[in-house]
Amino acid sequence: MLATAVCGVLITGCGSGNGGGNHDAKANAKPAAEPKPLTAGALRPLLLSQADLGTGYVQVPEKSDSGKFDDVSVQGCSALDKLDQNGDGIAFAAKAETSFTYGTDATLSEELHSDRPSVLSSKLRALFHAYISCPKYTMTAGTTPITVKVAKSATPKLGDEQFAYTSTMELPSGAQVLKTMAVRRGNVAVMLVGAPALVDRHMTTAFDKLPSAS
């Protein structure tokens, strides 16, 4: 699963008229148009590759999203229930994703999302707020209940906005810790999910592949 819209408007007034004329010019000025979302096709080349990550990473073949979360439900977190009440959670205009394994049990998944900056910002805020608002909840995968503990995490000083939280899942095989971090630059956001050390290690590389904000 995966933001202050930064909008700068420069209005330059030149002339020898009185203050009223300058006020009218400002009042009639139109706000700068937001960059449009990129397409999924434009996002895919920006995803991390094995060459970006180095040795030891194996890319996982892409699978369809259809039915991927049909047997997963959440109990004990009204914020997540509200987030997903329309059946598909928070959806952005375009998305591209990939994932890797590292060693025998570590994973790293990446999602790129694109939308208008203000929309991307507000939806990322809603998404991360929903998760960190519930320090503990239960997730059921199939018939197996899993206790999940969530804590807000520190973020690097990258891009326009940054979000992160760490989830500790009490699995039958033992506790598993995953970190989710997102960084937005203009109309594109990169989200990494996986072993905390891998997310911290590769976020800057993933961010550097994003196009410069318009």
pLDDT tens-digit map of 99-120: 999 988 899 999 999 999 999 9
The CATH number assigned to the domain with range 19-208 reads 3.40.1000.70
pLDDT of the residue at 72 = 75
Q: Is residue 97 predicted with pLDDT exceeding 90? A: yes
pLDDT of residue 85: 63
Query: What pLDDT is stored for residue 91 in this prediction?
Result: 87
Q: How confident is the model at residue 129 (pLDDT cuts 50, 70, 90)?
A: very high
pLDDT of residue 11: 16
Higher pLDDT, 42 or 142: 42
pLDDT at residue 6 is higher than 70: no
Scored b (16 or more CB within 10 A) or e, 175-195 reads eeebbbbbbbbbbbbbbbbbb
What is the distance between the alpha carbons of residues 146 and 170, in angstroms, rounded to a whole number?
A: 6
* Measured CA angle at 90 (ends 129, 2), to 5 deg: 60
Full-model pTM: 0.80
SS3 160: coil
Q: Is the pLDDT of residue 88 over 70?
A: no
Give the Cα separation of 58 and 45 in Å (integer): 18
Interatomic CA distance for residues 214 and 28, integer angstroms: 23
Residue 84 vs residues 74, 91, 126: alpha-carbon distances, Å: 10, 10, 11
What separation in angstroms does the CA of 133 have from each of 72, 148, 192? 20, 13, 20
Token pair 């009042």: residue? 27
pLDDT of residue 171: 84
Instruction: Quickly state the pLDDT bin for 140 (edges 50, 70, 90).
Output: confident
Half-sphere CA count of 137, side-chain side, radius 13 A: 20
Residue 202 CB coordination number (10 Å): 22
Does residue 69 carry a pLDDT above 90? no
Neighbours of 88 (CB within 10 A): 9
- Mean pLDDT of the 70-79 span: 81
For 97, 109, 110, the CA distances from 62, given in Å and listed in that order, are 8, 11, 12
Residue 39, pLDDT > 60, answer: yes
pLDDT at 21: 44
* pLDDT tens readout for residues 148-206: 999 999 999 999 999 999 999 998 888 999 999 999 999 999 999 999 999 999 999 99
The model's confidence at residue 50, banded by pLDDT at 50, 70 and 90, is very high
**153 strand-pairing partners:** none
